[in-house]
């Protein structure tokens, strides 16, 4: 797993209080990890803070899974 993926995973575990083994690439924040709409807003803010990137609202709306977040951040930092 890449460094970005590890850091994303850690943020998700901390914010959603879920077990590490559930935080897989295809896991949906809302459907699989118990997040509500406010949790996802806060998650996106935490990603912005951790990686120093800006995630506009329309882009945030398309980040639905752990893998979506990793891909967005990798692209933004490339």
Partner 1 sequence: MRRVVITGTGMVSPLGCGTEVSWQRLLAGQNAARVVTEFEVEDLPAKIACRIPVGDGSDGTFNVDQWMEPKEQRKVDPFIIYGVAAAEMALTDAGWHPQTDEDQIATGVLIGSGIGGLEGIVEAGYTLRDKGPRRISPFFIPGRLINLVSGQVSIRHKLRGPNHSVVTACSTGAHAIGDAARLIMLGDADVMVAGGAESPICRISLAGFAACKALSTQRNDDPQKASRPYDRDRDGFVMGEGAGIVVLEELEHAKARGAKIYAEVVGYGLSGDAFHITAPSEDGDGAFRCMTSALKRAGLGASDLDYINAHGTSTMADTIELGAVERLVGNAASKISMSSTKSAIGHLLGAAGAVEAIFSALAIRDNIAPPTLNLDNPDVETAIDLVPHTARKRDINVALSNSFGFGGTNASLVLRRYDA
Residues of this chain that bind partner 1 (CB under 8 A): 15-17, 38, 41-42, 45, 48-49, 54
Instruction: Count CB neighbours of 60 within 10 A.
Output: 19
The nearest distance, CB 48 to partner 1, in angstroms, is 7
The nearest distance, CB 6 to partner 1, in angstroms, is 20
C-beta closer to partner 1: residue 46 or 67:
46
Q: For residue 47, give the 3-state DSSP assignment.
A: helix
Tokens 């970005």: give the residue: 4
d(CA 1, CA 23): 12
List the catalytic residues.
Answer: 36
């Amino acid at each position: 797993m890449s460094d970005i993926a590890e850091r994303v995973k850690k943020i998700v575990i901390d914010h959603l209080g879920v077990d590490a083994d559930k935080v897989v690439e295809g896991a949906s924040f809302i459907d699989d990890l118990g997040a509500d709409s406010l949790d996802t807003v806060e998650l996106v803010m935490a990603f912005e803070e951790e990686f120093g990137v800006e995630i506009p609202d329309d882009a945030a709306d398309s980040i639905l899974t752990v893998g979506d977040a990793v891909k967005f951040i990798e692209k933004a930092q490339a």
